[in-house]
Structure 1
Amino acid sequence: MGLDQAATKPHEQLAAHLAGKMDAVNTLIRARMASRHAPRIPQVTAHLVEAGGKRLRPMLTLAAADLCGYGGDYDVHLAATVEFIHTATLLHDDVVDESAQRRGRPTANLLWDNKSSVLVGDYLFSRAFQLMVEPGSLRVLDILANASATIAEGEVLQLTASRDLATTEDIYLQVVRGKTAALFSAATEVGGVIADAPEDQIKALFDYGDALGIAFQIVDDLLDYQGDTKATGKNVGDDFRERKLTLPVIKAIAAADAEERAFWKRVIEKGDQRDGDLEHAIGLLKTHGALDQTRQEALEWAAKAKTALAALPENPVRQMLLDLADYVVARIS
């Protein structure tokens, strides 16, 4: 069942359950993205923040804190921190990838320029660090600061690995853990930490976020070759045109004969792409079962995320998080 066919989507259930907290998060985000001296900062930030994203990462922080019985207000600060980090990385990513569309809208770097996107991203990172300090927890600060560094490390690793045919699935997983899963796992982990949950529950929340983030990115990479532009907000084949070695391609290259390998070398390593190459690439992915194998791996990671939640209290929020793991892979199920 696709996401658009789902009658009640888990992220909407979470949003309804956490409505009061999410309103507080959104209010805090709007207040902290303001700038007295540089009006372009709120202009650029609002373009992305108000673009209709699901706010999945901050909801994960609020849900984790709620699941562990937290009754304070600092989960709101941490959720806003997570969203600022995410938004900053999106602004930077679109510059690096030379993207023209995100969430079905023109990217900030296209509407303004690369300099504005990079500098506003830097501003949001700074705001994130101001927010993460406010709860007064060194452990929370350590988790989120490490996640920020890991995200940047993953993006840099992707620069060198994404166009190298020698890139393995292990390296791909390392990239994904950096650029995507690190923020998912930090979002859930800090929710448990701020609630002063037992260590086994904090570890379970980390494991859930890690596996969910990996499943999320694998699905995203798969949909680049078989998705619906209207549903995803991205053009089919963007990763191919940007010469990114994602999991489906890595699997196809591993099974390629000499002629097919020469094709991948031309279009990925050399960047010599011609009319019909995307269609040929998709044909090779299907021939070698790379799309089906990638789909199976995404489903396995979603299952790992669900298994991790066994250590958490049984209540409606846990069920929503279980359903969320299924939801993340619903587009390919």
Structure 2
Amino acid sequence: MDSKYTPELEKIEAVLSAYLPENPGPAWIAGVFPGLPGTVSADLVKSLTLPGWDLLSRGGKRWRPLLTTLVCKSLGGGDAALVLTPLVEFPHNASLIHDDIEDNSDERRGKPAAHILYGTDTAINGGCFLYFLPLSCIDSWDAPMELKNRVYRLWGEYMRRLHLGQAMDISWHRDFASLPGLEEYELMCRLKTGCLAGLAAVLGVYGAAAGKGIRVEEIEPWSARLGDAAEKLGVGFQILDDVKNLSTGNPGKKRGDDIVEGKKSLPVLLYLHQHQGARDLVARCFTAARAAGVGAPEVEELIAELDRSGSLGEAKSRGLALIAGARETFAMEGAREGGQGLLELIDSIS
């Protein structure tokens, strides 16, 4: 991430660390588990928090919480949305922990996946905890109850959508015979990836509303417009991420591991829909890769064919077009405080 965002990112990291510390102490435990009868050892609590803390400590792009803070600033709310940033970053990392289990991945951000280090049972429980932990941020948010209740409701809506998108993705890669249409694929991406980007933008709007004392009814147009644009931004990001997996490779992951997983990403779907005989080739390469891993020669064979056919290039163009459309919507907010930084963040994603 560009160094211009360092001050903002440092604030975000401080909030994330406060709500998910490396070593949870008595005050943190009492705050997260109020009214708990008896005492719970810090070591026991740490076994719950460690998978999530470990993954966050490895870094990550943090563009979703940064989007929240920059949207808030661009609407004149200053740092009022900072406390809400865990609502997008914690669930994102929770989904990565569960993704790695569901996909049988052994590596994340350059290190062993959480379930490899801590066991599948602890990783599942720690991932689930990361979905619910950020609700404590809403409790401590200095905002009218009307806004708090609305954000509680939004969180529930977006978490349900996130899991529905994951269900679609799982069903497709488990059954090779299923061939989703391109509209179905985009819906899956909007649910699985776009929804957290949408939530990030919406939280920025609500943070600004709290900071400026604006009522819910007055901010709904901003919320709907920017939330939709951010969802498209998230879809574009996902498409470009999938293209990178099949070209340069993603940082901290192995090039082509989506083929091992049998993932029907956009480049693969474009190839399947547009080329005669593609099904046989993709099925053969997926099967060989699942059996032998990323070292199977069929991984590189399929990547070369996706590149030769133009499917990789077309997918990249579609991703860039979605990001450009989202940028245009955000640009309509003008060059207010933080507005230029917001547009530059979008440019960095592409």
Shorter chain as denominator, the TM-score bin is 0.7 to 0.9
Kindly tell me the number of residue pairs found equivalent between the two proteins. Answer: 315
Residue aligning to 2:133: 127
Residue pair 2:198, 2:229 contacting (<8 A) in 1 also: yes
CA distance in 2, matches of 1:63, 1:145: 23
Does the alignment pair 1:156 with 2:167?
yes
2:73 maps to 1:66: yes
Match of 1:22 in 2: 12
Which has the larger Rg? 2
- Alpha-carbon deviation of 1:93? 1.2
Q: Distance in 2 between matches of 1:143 and 1:33?
A: 30
1:105–1:233 Cα contact (<8 Å) kept: yes
User: Relative contact order (C-alpha < 8 Å, sep 6+): which is higher?
Assistant: 1
What do residues 109-168 of structure 1 show as CA deviations (whole Å, max 9, x unaligned)? 111111111001112222123333444422212222111111111101111123344211
CA displacement at 1:42 relative to structure 2: 3.2
Structure 1 residue runs of 5 or longer lacking an equivalent are 1-8
What residue identity is the alignment partner of 1:58? P
Distance 1:323 1:46, change over 3 A: same
2:158 to 116, 126, 147: 147
1:132–1:144 Cα contact (<8 Å) kept: no
Q: SS in structure 2 opposite 1:38?
A: helix
Q: Runs of 5+ in structure 2 lacking a partner? A: 30-41
Identity of aligned residues (%): 26
The corresponding residue for 1:302 is 323
Q: What is the alpha-carbon distance in structure 2 between the residues aligned to residue 256 and residue 117 of structure 1?
A: 40
Partner of 2:34: none
C-alpha contact (below 8 Å) 1:165/1:253 kept by paired residues: no
Q: Specify the code of the residue in structure 2 equivalent to 1:184.
A: A
> C-alpha distance in 2, partners of 1:114/1:211?
33
Q: Could you give the per-residue CA deviations for residues 173-213 of structure 1, whole angstroms, max 9, x where no partner exists?
A: 11111111100110111110232264433233213311221
Spell out, residue by residue over 1:49-84, the C-alpha distance to the aligned partner (whole angstroms, 9 max, x if none).
1102232221211111121122564x2331122222
Match of residue 56 from structure 1 = 63
Note the C-alpha offset of 1:262. Answer: 1.4
Give the Cα separation in 1 of the matches to 2:136 and 2:203.
16
In the alignment, is residue 105 of structure 1 matched against residue 96 of structure 2?
no
Shift of 1:26: 3.0
Say if 1:82 and 1:187, in contact at 8 Å, map to a contact too.
yes
Q: Distance in 2 between matches of 1:110 and 1:227?
A: 26
1:249 to 268, 286, 290: 268
Under a length normalisation based on structure 1, what TM-score does the superposition of the two structures give? 0.86
